[in-house]
Every structure is written in C-alpha cells, then in structure tokens.
Amino acid sequence: MALAGCGNGDSLESFGGPTMGSTYSVKYVRHPGLAARNDVQVEVERILAEIDRQMSTYRSDSDIERFNDLPADSCQAMPAPILHLIGVGQQLSQRSQGSFDLTVEPLLDLWGFGPQGRGEAVPSDAALAQARQRVGYTHLRIDGDRLCKDAAVEVDFNSIAAGYAVDRIAARLEEMGIDNYLAEATGELKAVGRKPDGTPWRIALEEPRDDRQVAERVIAIDGYGVSTSGDYRNYFQRDGQRYSHTFDARTGKPVEHGLASVTVIHPAALMADGLSTLLLILGPERGWDYAEKHDIAAFFVIRADTGFVTRSNRAFDRLFAGQKQ
C-alpha cells in the first residue's frame, strides 16, 4: 500500500513476505524517479533466496547443509558470504570464551529445537556427552575459499543470518537510491532516515510475555540495526524447569539464568544480531559487564520475583538521551 506523502511527490511504500521460517518486511520512502515498488521487491527477494540457498539448515541442498553432511577431516568450497559469517562467528566465540558457537546444531537437535529434532526432551548425560563431541568452533578453519572441519561438526547460522540479510537488503536499497527505509527480517531490523512526514522510524521494544505483545519502550532509530534475543518464544518445561532454545556451548545445555531478553543497537544489523545472542547466553551479570566493557548499546529485561526489571547501559542511554520513554 502506498500512502500519500507531504506534497513533494514522495510516498511511503511497503511490501513483505515469508523468509527463514518467518517473515520479512520493507518500508521505504519513494522519491519521484526511483524504481517502482515491484522492482525493489524483486531485488530484496533475490537476496533472501540467495541466503536461503547458501545458509538454510532446513533444506538439504543448501551449501551449509552439504557441508554439515560431510564427515570429519573434510573441506568444501564455499561462497564468500558463508566464509564471512564463519569469521564473524569465530570472533564472537573467542570473545565469549566459547559460550557463543555456530556449531551447536547437534545440541539443538538433541534437545528438540533443531531441524532434525525429534520432540522436546531432556537428554541423558550419555547422549549429551556424545553430542558435545560434535560441537566446537575450534574444529572449523578457513583454507582459501574452502571451509574445513576436523570433527563432524554442523554449522547453524540462525544466530546471525537474519541480521546479515538485513544488512544486505539495506545496502541494496541504498544502491537503488533509497535513503529512507525500515528493513526487517524475522524481527531483526535496520532503520535509516525518516518517513515522508519527517517523523523518525519508531521501534517498540517488546516485553517478554507469552500471552500477548506489550511494548516495554519505544525508541526512534536512524542509522542503526536493532536485534532482540529472548528465551520467551521457543522453550519447553519439564518437572517445573524451563528449557529455552538458547544454549551455552561450553555446557551443552540451555542457559539457566534470569535474563529474559536483551536488545542490542549497532550500526550493523549483523553485529546487533550476533551480540544480542552472545549477551543473552552470558546472562544478566556477565552479559552486562561485557556490554559495558565493549561499549555495546544494550537494553536488558530480567526476570524478578515481582515481574520484569529493565536495565539500559550507558552506551544505550547515550544513543537515546532526550527521547521520551
């Protein structure tokens, strides 16, 4: 739907559709002379289709699934985007002392959260120990244009692929002359510029509730990616214990702390995506210290006996100083 602008010929265009097991959406200001909405949508969906062919763990013919099927001591030529994301993942793993890890797919499957999961269940110690033998970012290495592994590890890009997709979409929009837009994929997003009426793009940070969506805080964004990671959508309960789909690779188990969600604001949506996952894994204390040390703008929602407690760190507060809460 195109909405009327402010008399200068500008209009607000929007489109969206399915992607990565969820949805994507794009809103942008179209100036006179820019490409038609359908042409922009074709370009965006071309990018999403490429990422799906390369990185999806839900299709057996993707580049990464063909690599995952290889035995130990194997290499496979890979497209540049995969090698780039492997490098980003290695960096985040090193920074978190191995808590963040792109090779946790065997654990996701074992606990019932992955593409090969066979029902949510708490695994036995023996099964967990066996799966952990196939987990570890140090088993991966890049050799020229090849990705290699010295153990039968499997790579899962779910913690960073959506942010990467948003950055790719944003770059293509700007190449097409679009300088005011809001691009989103599976909840990760980036906003640049303003709407036709001159008002900023405003983003609601969601309270982690199971029953309905509630805005915890609304912020105006210009030039930043936004990613929220939380344990309140994908989890199961057994014997009064809550098990989320967020794993600490060092233990092989879902995290067991009170951090319900964390939002990261970063110029790159890819880094916002990865860092929000990293901070969620680290938890309310270690994650907070990490964000403060590395000047990462972060907004924490922590479970407490009385409900939820929110904390925003210094980098976050600097970005949104003066904005009404």
- 129 and 164 fall within a common domain: no
The side-by-side arrangement of strands in the sheet containing 307-312 is 3-4, 11-19, 22-30, 181-185, 188-192, 224-230, 259-266, 297-304, 307-312
- 121 and 182 fall within a common domain: no
- 15 and 115 fall within a common domain: no
Q: Is there a domain that residue 187 lies in?
A: yes
Alpha-carbon torsion angle 128, 134, 139, 142, nearest 10: -130
Q: Answer whether residue 117 shows pLDDT above 90.
A: no
Mean pLDDT across 133-146: 96
Residue at a domain's end among 87, 116, 149: 149
Domain membership of residue 81 as a residue range:
60-149
Q: Answer whether residue 111 shows pLDDT above 60.
A: yes
- 181 and 80 fall within a common domain: no
Q: Is 52 annotated as a binding residue?
A: no
The string of pLDDT tens digits covering residues 163-198 is 999 999 999 999 999 999 999 999 999 999 999 999
- Which residue did the predictor score with more confidence, 132 or 113? 132
Q: Is 23 annotated as a binding residue?
A: no
- 108 and 212 fall within a common domain: no
Residue at a domain's end among 99, 130, 149: 149
Q: Is there a domain that residue 154 lies in?
A: no
Q: Is there a domain that residue 325 lies in?
A: no
> What integer pLDDT is reported at residue 75 of this predicted model?
98
Alpha-carbon torsion angle 246, 209, 315, 186, nearest 10: 60
Q: Is there a domain that residue 155 lies in?
A: no
Q: Is 261 annotated as a binding residue?
A: no
- 136 and 31 fall within a common domain: no
Residue at a domain's end among 84, 119, 149: 149
> What integer pLDDT is reported at residue 2 of this predicted model?
34
The separation between CA 87 and the C-alpha centre of its own chain, rounded to angstroms, equals 16
- 140 and 189 fall within a common domain: no
Q: Is there a domain that residue 140 lies in?
A: yes
Mean pLDDT across 136-143: 97
Mean pLDDT across 139-159: 96
- 29 and 167 fall within a common domain: yes
The string of pLDDT tens digits covering residues 256-291 is 888 989 999 999 999 999 999 999 999 999 999 999
Mean pLDDT across 27-36: 94
Mean pLDDT across 309-322: 92
CATH code of the domain containing 236: 3.10.520.10
Residues 37/31, Cβ–Cβ less than 8 Å? no
> What integer pLDDT is reported at residue 140 of this predicted model?
98
Q: Is there a domain that residue 128 lies in?
A: yes
This prediction has a pTM of 0.91
- 194 and 245 fall within a common domain: yes
Q: Is there a domain that residue 324 lies in?
A: no
Q: Is 121 exposed, middle or buried (0-12, 13-18, 19+ CB in 10 A)?
A: middle
> What integer pLDDT is reported at residue 213 of this predicted model?
52
- 94 and 7 fall within a common domain: no
- 131 and 43 fall within a common domain: no
Closest alpha carbon to 183 in 163, 199, 200, 161 = 163
Q: Is there a domain that residue 181 lies in?
A: yes
- 175 and 298 fall within a common domain: yes
Q: Answer whether residue 7 shows pLDDT above 50.
A: no
Total structural domains within the chain: 2
DSSP class of residue 200 equals: B
Residues 113/234, Cβ–Cβ less than 8 Å? yes
Mean pLDDT over all residues of the chain? 89
CATH code of the domain containing 117: 1.10.3980.10
